[in-house]
Chain A
Amino acid sequence: MIRQPVQLRTRIVISALSILAMFVAYEAIAMRQSRINPKQTVVPGITSIWDGIQKMTTPNSRGETWLVEDVKATYGRLLLGLGLGIGLSIVIGVAMGAYPWVEAFFVPAVSFFAKIPPTAMLAVYFVLFGTKTEMFVAMVGLSVFFTLAQSIYQVAKKDVTDHSVFKAYSLGATSLEVIYEVLWKQILPRVIESIRLQIGPAMVFLIAAEYVVGDVGIGYRIRIQSRILNMNVVYIYLVMLGGSGLLMDWSLTQLRRKLCPWFGE
């Protein structure tokens, strides 16, 4: 029957089998390719992957490894951009949800810019911020800001009814308390969800920008290494991106469960 529930243990076994199947399939393809061409690097086998790891972790002339340099650059840009974008979008989004005159002021700009793909804005960011860290941070921050501010403002309007606001006033709240104690606490789980959904696109834009103009970072390394078909390095970076994405996703879900136990799953 459709949607027949499965036991937790069965679910874990099926998931483990799926991961195992991926590894087995990959290794089988790698072995087949190596039989056809022993020097191929497009689908590297386990030993070749190990070579890639060593390449990434061997210090270069500056005394730093690719891995440390790239992780520092990419995740530094990502966290800084996300921090700025999230902070600004919470302030503006909540203010838009609380005060109709702020809403009237920001809605045209926020709605318009949220519709422009951030990668299409790359050229503008190059011109405005150059090609250094500021450009990557601004691109991540602004791409997150417009979409997240719009989503926070809509949630604040929809999930917080006039009745709950009026009632808070009748219980003695000031406007600031209504915003913090009622509006913010009501929308917090949805804000965390929106942030979680924004991390993926932010990562896409950042890697794309690094791919085009970066001189360090994961996107840059993928471009350079794929050109010389060092796929053993490229695949490790991809696994790292997937793993970090999952980790951030899981962390935010845990944070939401911890801060908003009333919200359910």
Chain B
Amino acid sequence: MTYALEIKNVSHWFGTNKVLNNLNLQIAHGQIVAVVGPSGCGKSTLLRAIFGTHPPKAGQILADNEPVTKPCRSVGIVYQHYTLYDFLTAQENVAFGLKLDQTNLLFRLLQFPKWRELQRQHLSQATDFLNRVGLSHAVNNYPHEMSGGMCQRVAIAQAMIMKPKILLLDEPFGALDESTRTDLQLLLLRFYQENLEAKRAGQIAPYTILIVTHELNEALYVSDRVIGLSQYHADGTNGATIVYDRPSPIFHPDDPRDFDIFLKQREELRKVVFDSESKKRHEEFVTFWNEHADLLASTTTKA
């Protein structure tokens, strides 16, 4: 069985403070999964563990069945504050991964003409990708010449062009204004539509995304599945674990942005995940795979 991401019995602690407690999660190819949770519940620790910079103290994380123990090609990331390379233009930033992945220093030095040819192809692919994220007018701009929203689009293009097994978005729209935020949310919905089209054509969906966000509306709007991480447990267990895992409504980019559609689910999510008084049995709300046996079957078949 191959999942884009599989988390097996993951726990993490700092000294005596247990942050993550026995987390288990499977994400299928092509899903956009939103992770929400109260401040300090361990969302960032989980993200760092999946990215490989801070491996968990117990348990295992697999990306496409390969263990993740350090940052690697299988797991991409987009940070809240973009982290673009200042010395590269938007186009070069997007093509940077292709260069690093497909060539090495010796090749670039010793086979310069071939490298120049390949570089032209990389830059052309990068331009295409920038067109898709609406930045055709800014290909030659350096990061300091672009707005926050433009930088974040470049960062998304930079990560997505590499088609990682799973892409982590760490509160990617947190620092942006409302209008830019909406544009980028629609961008994610368009990527999701590409996944659906790929599935219809019998191909593996290209984009699997795990997005960490504080915004409940955003979580329910851009994802097809919402996971709630919380330290508030009915059994008094120490450390955060998954207390909510349910499908979320799927929006088409052309659909009206009507958040009332998921009003009931948002309230449920708020109570289960964020309300420290409302300690319930987790199993009641961790039902994604029960409701999506078909997805599990297709994942199993793929393997």
Which residues from chain B contact A64 at a C-beta distance below 8 Å? Answer: none
A177 at the interface (CB under 8 A from B): yes
- The A-B contact count (CB < 8 A) is 66
Asked whether A262 and B79 contact (CB < 8 A) given A171-B100, A173-B100, the answer is no
Indicate if the CB atoms of A171 and B87 lie closer than 8 Å: no
Interface positions, chain B 149-189, Cβ under 8 Å from A, are: 158-159, 162, 164
Could you tell me if B105 and A176 are in contact, using CB atoms closer than 8 angstroms? Answer: yes
CB contacts under 8 Å to B, within A148-167, are 161-164, 166-167
B247 close to A (CB within 8 Å): no
Give the residue among A173, A180, A188, A260 with the most B Cβ atoms within 10 A: A173
Q: Is the CB of A169 within 8 A of B85?
A: no
Q: Give min CB distance, A43 to chain B, whole Å.
A: 50
Selected interface stretch from B16-24, B70-78, B117-125, B223-231 = B70-78
A170 touches B51 (CB 8 A): yes
Are A164 and B104 in contact, with the CB atoms below 8 A? no
A-B contact pairs, 21 of them (CB 8 A): A161-B83, A162-B53, A163-B79, A163-B81, A166-B51, A167-B79, A169-B70, A170-B76, A170-B77, A170-B159, A170-B164, A171-B76, A171-B97, A171-B100, A171-B101, A172-B73, A181-B96, A185-B85, A186-B85, A260-B87, A262-B142
Interface size range on B against A: 20 to 34
Q: Is the interface of B mostly helix, strand, loop or mixed?
A: loop
A162 to B104, CA, bound (A): 22
1/0 per residue, CB under 8 A from A, across B43-61: the answer is: 0000000010100000000
Is B144 engaged at the interface, CB distance under 8 Å to the other chain?
A: yes
| Most A Cβ at <10 Å: residue of B72, B73, B87, B88 | B87
Which chain A residues border B53 with CB–CB below 8 Å?
162, 166
12 new A-B contacts at CB < 8 Å, known A164-B83, A167-B83:
A163-B79, A169-B70, A170-B72, A170-B73, A170-B76, A171-B73, A171-B96, A171-B100, A171-B162, A181-B96, A181-B100, A263-B87
Interface residues of A in 168-218 (CB under 8 A from B): 168-174, 176-177, 180-182, 185-186, 188
What residues of chain B lie closer than 8 Å to A168, measured between beta carbons?
100
Known A177-B104, A181-B100: A169·B72 in contact at CB below 8 Å: yes
Cα(A168)–Cα(B83), bound, Å: 10
Give B243 Cβ to nearest chain A Cβ, in Å.
29
Residue of B nearest to A189 (CB): B87
| Chain A proximity of B126: nearest CB distance (Å) | 13
User: Which residue of chain B has the shortest Cβ distance to A167 in the bound complex?
Assistant: B83
Give min CB distance, B86 to chain A, whole Å.
6
**A164 near B87 (CB under 8 angstroms)?**
no
Task: Report B287 CB to chain A, min CB distance, Å.
Answer: 32
Binding site for A on B (CB under 8 A): 51, 53, 70-73, 75-77, 79, 81, 83, 85-88, 96-97, 100-102, 104-105, 142, 144, 158-159, 162, 164
Interface pair A262/B77, CB less than 8 Å apart: no
Point out the residues of chain A lying under 8 angstroms from B101, CB to CB.
171-172
Residue of B81, B100, B164 with most chain A CB atoms under a 10 A cut-off: B100
Name the one of B75, B86, B88 contacting A170, with C-beta atoms under 8 angstroms: B75
Among A166, A171, A180, the most chain B Cβ lie within 10 Å of the Cβ of A171
Query: Are A186 and B104 within 8 A (Cβ)?
Result: no
The CA of A221 and the CA of B178, in the complex, are separated in Å by: 70
A171-B97, A173-B100 as given contacts; A186 in contact with B86, CB under 8 Å: yes
Quick check: B100 and A163 within 8 Å, CB to CB? Answer: no
Task: Give complex CA distance A182, B71 in Å.
Answer: 16
Nearest A residue to B168 via CB reads A170
Q: Are A164 and B70 in contact (CB under 8 A)?
A: no
Separation of A169 and B51 alpha carbons in the complex (Å): 10
Q: Are A170 and B85 in contact (CB under 8 A)?
A: no
Cα(A186)–Cα(B142), bound, Å: 13
A264 interfacial by beta-carbon distance below 8 Å: yes
- Give Cα A177–Cα B87 distance, bound, in whole angstroms: 15
Whether B77 pairs with A167 at a CB distance below 8 angstroms is: yes
Q: Which residues of B contact A174 (CB under 8 A)?
A: 104
